[in-house]
């Protein structure tokens, strides 16, 4: 029985199920651990090991084999973490190991489990439920975890479960990451073990000053609204401090100028000591501080400054075996983000560093881009930078000793690939992901003088004598995300859209990653001009390349999140170019979005109110002349539904017809199978109804 692409994509969570991920390498190089579901349509994730000598894989923890209830009652912290991480699967979606990788710990339905990675023996430990973010100490003697905003420890044998510290109020937590850290900084955790396992560094988060928003479920009026602490632009953030907690209960506060540097960005604790990274609210600098674990005093190790903003690079800070700080700097002359070791740039100009994946001795593993549509794996050691991956694609990995795990996806083939490279040979890691029923045929262009990376897809089998096609622009278009990458899977949905009778154009304009710091900062204070201009440039170039295919008298645009804002902006600002828009979860008023993201680009709304007005869709509501559909999940706690409801009210007040599609029970993601599938059909029908000849 054949299956439609929309149903297959929804059922497989956009083909993410069955893909191996979250790899770790044992220090003795004997095994690799990873997560994977058992099939491409199975949402239950299991924990696996791979024997590096033989390549044999073993499932060491399968939720189906354990007496575990369903996930309907997940802890609120875990639901929030999955939303921040855009996690679409269930089961064992995260795990942590001791330093020797002899044991791993994880949670299921808020309960704590430990597994011996050698024998695959799984034990439930009698921890205080609900359990969140368990992490064993390096020696594997005890486990730290959070329950009810309290940081606790339990011995690995299940005895002596105790709280290390009690929150002073119901607005205080220990060991958790606050909203902006998880959503915008990439910091998903809030506690770190010392190398000797005797001390924990814990984040203390006080949400007392943060305004409270309430997210109701209108489809179920008997349910009370959920209250969230949401730090919208210009409003107070959570107060974050750090405390060193001895396992015997003694505590020491970490001291730094939290008034000037309120954002706690990252921590790293290795044999050289404890490092933290802090940032001021305007984000124009970052400080790397060394922490004395005996008294909590800090000393300045490094400062990075930029007149616009400093970028948080994943994987930092780390140190080499000799103790040199690994960091990044932005070479303005070469317009390149480069790795520094001991303050000296070591990676070549022109190679845009994207993330640091780890340090092994004096060797640094990282990802970078020479061509922005590709992400490759690199190693720096001995004064030389070596590329470890070949061909057009997007790659990542980890390394320890003689073992390197390389993951990747390519443009010339479906799915993903993973291999474990050892001195004795290479072992592939199986992917159980389904192969899409559709094979995209994509053309990658460089549009205009700025060489905007652009993808064009036409209907399968289309010939020029069949007549010109309505155009569908399908962007994200904003910071920290790309749609035009050398990955075949990314173009399956655009190809399906094209096969419904459209020419699909996707463009990554100014503000998107991997084109250099100046490119990223060109949207500072102004999303509207650069972002919209680059979409139009890409559209014109695609039409120039395919004059018989693209009908510029029939152009639609759709997008989600920042792309939803862009879709709404396009029909409001340039109705001469864009004839219909579909805005999914759009940020219609940047005052309603979070502090860390919004203030980086637009400043503080009390100081730069004109920038917020200039980038607002609500301020433009009276300008709507084209059909517009706005889609929003009513349970969205990232871009809350108030964005769409206030925008709709402004449109109505201005007498501007529009369509609103509310999604009951849906968050910023749309993992529900029926919702995800039918959303595609609804959008296509709407576009066709407007763009038909």
Q: What is the pLDDT of residues 224-248, one digit of tens each?
A: 999 999 999 999 999 999 999 999 9
Residue 564 lies in a domain: yes
Which burial class, exposed, middle or buried, applies to 324 when counting CB atoms under 10 A from its CB (0-12, 13-18, 19+)?
A: middle
Judged against a pLDDT cut of 80, whether residue 453 lies above it is answered with yes
Whether 672 has a pLDDT exceeding 90, the answer reads no
CB burial string 137-168: b at 16+ within 10 A, e below = bbbbebbbbbbebbbbbbebeeeebeebbebe
Residue 179: closest CA among 132, 229, 126, 145: 229
Assigned token pair, 643:
């964005």
Quote the pLDDT of residue 73. 65
Is residue 127 within 8 A of residue 135, CB to CB? The reply is no
What pLDDT does residue 114 have? 98
Q: What is the DSSP letter of 182?
A: I
Give residue 539's pLDDT band: very low, low, confident or very high (50, 70, 90): very high
- How many Cα atoms are found within 13 Å in the side-chain-facing hemisphere of 439? 4
Residue 96, in any domain of the structure: no
Q: Could you give phi then psi for residue 428, rounded to 5 degrees?
A: -75, 145
Better-scored residue on pLDDT, 32 or 75:
32
- Pick the closest to residue 203 from 235, 178, 233, 237 (CA basis): 178
Write down the pLDDT at residue 671: 63
Q: Give percent above pLDDT 90 in the chain.
A: 92
Question: Which pLDDT belongs to residue 83?
Answer: 76
For residue 430, tell me if it sits in a domain.
no
Q: How many CA atoms within 13 Å lie on the side-chain side of 176?
A: 27
DSSP for 555-577, written as a single string: EEEEEETHHHHHHHHHHHH-TTT
Neighbours of 536 (CB within 10 A): 20
Asked whether residue 617 is assigned to any structural domain, the reply reads yes
Domain limits at 540?
442-692
- CA 305, CA 399: separation in Å to the nearest integer? 31
> 124 vs 33, 89, 131, 424, CA distance in Å?
20, 22, 12, 37
- Half-sphere exposure of 371 toward its Cβ, with a 13 Å CA cutoff? 15
DSSP H or E run through 266: strand 263-270
Mean pLDDT of all residues in 461-465:
92
- Looking up residue 556, the CATH number of its domain turns out to be 3.40.50.1820
Cα 159 to Cα 243: distance, rounded to the nearest angstrom: 25
- What is the layout of strands, in order, in the sheet containing 659-663? 442-447, 452-457, 503-508, 469-473, 550-560, 580-584, 628-633, 659-663
Kindly give the residue spans of alpha helices, DSSP state H, lying in 516-636. 517-521, 528-545, 562-573, 595-602, 609-614
**Closest to 167 (Cα-Cα) out of 188, 151, 184, 153:** 151
Tell me the average pLDDT across 456-473. 96
Question: Which one, of 683, 692, 471, 455, lies nearest residue 564 by Cα?
Answer: 683
How much is the pLDDT for 421?
Answer: 98
* Domain-located, residue 31: no
Assess whether pLDDT exceeds 60 at residue 1.
no
**Rounded Cα distance, 686 and 292, in Å:** 61
Whether 629 contacts 686, CB under 8 Å: yes
Q: What is the pLDDT of residue 279?
A: 98
Backbone angles phi, psi at 633, to 5 degrees: -75, 130
What's the pLDDT tens digit per position in 148-172? Answer: 999 999 999 999 999 999 999 999 9
Q: Among candidates 187, 274, 275, 193, which has minimal Cα distance to 238?
A: 187
List, for residues 420-451, the tens digit of each pLDDT value.
999 999 999 999 999 999 999 999 999 999 99
Report the mean per-residue pLDDT for the chain.
95
Q: Which runs of consecutive H residues, i.e. helices, occur in 47-195?
A: 76-85, 179-180
Q: 484: which 2 tokens?
A: 């035009």
Structural domains of the chain, count: 1
Q: Is the pLDDT of residue 87 over 80?
A: no
Strand order in the sheet with 363-369: 352-360, 363-369, 376-381, 384-387
Query: Which pTM does this prediction carry?
Result: 0.95
**Run of H or E residues at 649:** helix 642-653
Judge whether residue 85 has pLDDT over 90: no
pLDDT at 693 over 80: no
- Tokens representing residue 452 in the block: 């905007």
**Using 50, 70 and 90 to split pLDDT, how confident is the model at 676?**
confident
Tokens of 42: 């199975």
* 182: in domain: no
Q: How far apart are alpha carbons 306 and 520 in whole angstroms?
A: 13
**Nearest CA among 175, 132, 134 for reference residue 156:** 134
Residue 596's nearest CA partner among 186, 81, 289 is 186
Q: Which two tokens stand for residue 479?
A: 């910071």
Q: Kindly give, in sequence order, each residue whose CB lies less than 8 Å from that of residue 327, ignoring residues fewer than 6 positions away.
A: 288, 302, 304, 316, 317, 339, 340, 343
Packed helices 492-499 and 673-691: angle between N→C axes, nearest 10 degrees: 40
Minimum mean pLDDT range among 88-92, 306-310, 404-408: 88-92
Coil, helix or strand for 221? coil
Q: Tell me, what's the pLDDT at 326?
A: 98
CB 279 within 8 A of CB 265: yes
Q: What sign does the CA torsion over 384, 388, 390, 396 have?
A: negative
């Amino acid at each position: 029985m054949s299956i439609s692409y929309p149903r297959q994509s929804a059922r497989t969570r956009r083909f993410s199920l069955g893909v191996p991920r979250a790899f770790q390498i044992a220090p003795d190089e004997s095994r690799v651990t990873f997560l994977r579901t058992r099939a491409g349509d199975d949402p239950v994730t299991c924990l696996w090991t791979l024997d590096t000598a033989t390549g044999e894989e073993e499932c060491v923890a399968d939720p189906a084999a354990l007496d575990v209830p369903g996930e309907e009652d997940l802890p609120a912290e875990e639901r929030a973490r999955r939303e921040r991480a855009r996690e679409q699967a269930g089961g064992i979606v995260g795990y942590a190991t001791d330093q020797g990788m002899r044991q791993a710990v994880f949670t299921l339905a808020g309960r704590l489990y430990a597994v011996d990675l050698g024998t695959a023996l799984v034990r439930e430990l009698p921890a205080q439920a609900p359990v969140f973010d368990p992490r064993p100490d390096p020696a594997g003697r005890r486990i730290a975890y959070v329950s009810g905003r309290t940081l606790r420890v339990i011995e690995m044998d299940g005895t002596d479960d105790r709280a290390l510290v009690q929150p002073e109020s119901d607005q205080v937590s220990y060991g958790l990451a606050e909203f902006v850290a998880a959503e915008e900084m990439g910091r998903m955790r809030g506690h770190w073990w010392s190398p000797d396992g005797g001390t924990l560094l814990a984040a203390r988060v006080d949400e007392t000053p943060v305004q409270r928003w309430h997210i109701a479920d209108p489809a179920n009026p008997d349910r009370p609204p959920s209250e969230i602490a949401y730090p919208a632009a210009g409003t107070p953030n959570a107060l974050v401090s750090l405390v060193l907690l001895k396992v015997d209960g003694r505590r020491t506060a970490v001291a730094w100028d939290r008034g000037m540097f309120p954002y706690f960005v990252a921590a790293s604790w290795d044999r050289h000591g404890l490092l933290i990274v802090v940032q001021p609210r305007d984000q124009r600098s970052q400080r790397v501080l060394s922490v004395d674990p005996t008294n909590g005093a800090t000393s300045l190790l490094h400062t990075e400054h930029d007149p616009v903003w400093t970028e948080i690079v994943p994987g930092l800070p780390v140190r080499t075996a000799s103790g040199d700080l690994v960091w990044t700097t932005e070479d303005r002359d070469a317009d390149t983000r480069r790795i520094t070791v001991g303050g000296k740039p070591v990676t070549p100009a022109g190679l845009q560093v994207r993330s640091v994946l780890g340090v092994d001795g004096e060797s640094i593993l990282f990802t970078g881009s020479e061509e922005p549509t590709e992400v490759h794996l690199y190693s720096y050691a001995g004064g030389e930078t070596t590329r470890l991956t070949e061909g057009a694609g997007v790659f990542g990995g980890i390394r320890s000793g003689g073992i390197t795990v390389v993951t990747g996806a390519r443009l010339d083939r479906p799915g993903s690939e993973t291999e474990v490279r050892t001195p004795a040979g290479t072992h592939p890691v199986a992917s159980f992901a389904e192969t899409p029923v559709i094979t995209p045929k994509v053309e990658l262009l460089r549009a205009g003088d700025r060489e905007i990376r652009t993808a064009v897809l036409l209907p399968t089998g289309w010939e020029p004598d069949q007549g010109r096609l309505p155009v569908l622009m399908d962007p994200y278009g904003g910071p920290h995300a790309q749609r035009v990458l050398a990955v075949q899977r990314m173009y399956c949905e655009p190809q399906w859209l094209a096969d419904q009778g459209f020419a699909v154009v996707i463009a990554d304009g100014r503000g998107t990653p991997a084109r250099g710091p100046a490119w990223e900062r060109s949207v500072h204070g102004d999303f509207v001009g650069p972002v919209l201009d680059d979409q139009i440039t890409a559209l014109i170039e695609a039409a120039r390349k395919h004059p018989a295919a693209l009908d510029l008298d029939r152009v639609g645009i759709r997008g989600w999140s920042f792309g939803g804002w862009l879709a709404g902006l396009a029909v409001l600002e340039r109705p001469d170019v864009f004839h219909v828009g579909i805005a999914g979860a759009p940020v219609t008023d940047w005052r309603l979005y979070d502090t860390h993201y919004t203030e980086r680009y637009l400043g503080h709304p009390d100081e730069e109110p004109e920038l917020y007005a200039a980038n607002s869709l609500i301020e433009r509501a009276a300008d709507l002349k084209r059909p517009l559909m706005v889609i929003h999940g009513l349970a969205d706690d990232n871009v809350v539904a108030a964005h769409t409801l206030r925008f709709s009210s402004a449109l109505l007040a201005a007498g501007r017809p529009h369509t609103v599609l509310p999604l009951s029970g849906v968050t910023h993601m749309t993992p529900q199978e029926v919702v995800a599938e039918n959303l595609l059909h609804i959008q296509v029908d709407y576009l066709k109804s407007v763009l038909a000849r």
